Amino acid sequence: SGGDLSISPVNPAQQTALLGMKVLVGRPIKSSVPNSSAAIKNGVIFGVPISDTVEDILKALVDQDVTEVRRLPMRGSPDTL
């Protein structure tokens, strides 16, 4: 089972690249952005295995200029980060 990551792109090109990712740390993922009119939006990567450390995920996204990764609470487990 996996959790979700909040992603904050720094520019439209980075947002496009992150949304196009299908694999992270060798595992399939899907990405989306909320519906709003902002040009650059925070996004979420879904289904990231909890066994993948934040450090591993950050290393995997370094070529996208990602500087911070934050785990979101697991659905159905609000006290789990």
Asked whether residue 76 is domain-assigned, the answer is no
Asked whether residue 47 is domain-assigned, the answer is yes
Domain that includes residue 7, residue range: 2-71
Asked whether residue 32 is domain-assigned, the answer is yes
Give residue 14's region: left, alpha or beta (phi > 0; psi -120 to 50): alpha
Residues in the chain, pLDDT under 50: 37, 80-81
Taking the model in full, what pTM does it have? 0.46
Asked whether residue 31 is domain-assigned, the answer is yes
Asked whether residue 81 is domain-assigned, the answer is no
Asked whether residue 79 is domain-assigned, the answer is no
Asked whether residue 35 is domain-assigned, the answer is yes
Nearest to 7 by CA among 51, 41, 52: 41
User: How far is it, in rounded angstroms, from Cα 22 to Cα 81?
Assistant: 23
Can you read off the two tokens belonging to residue 17? 């690249």
Domains in the chain, number: 1
pLDDT (tens digit, 9 = 90+) per residue, 47-66?
Answer: 888 888 889 988 988 887 78
Residue with tokens 């990764």: 69
pLDDT of res. 7 = 78
Asked whether residue 78 is domain-assigned, the answer is no
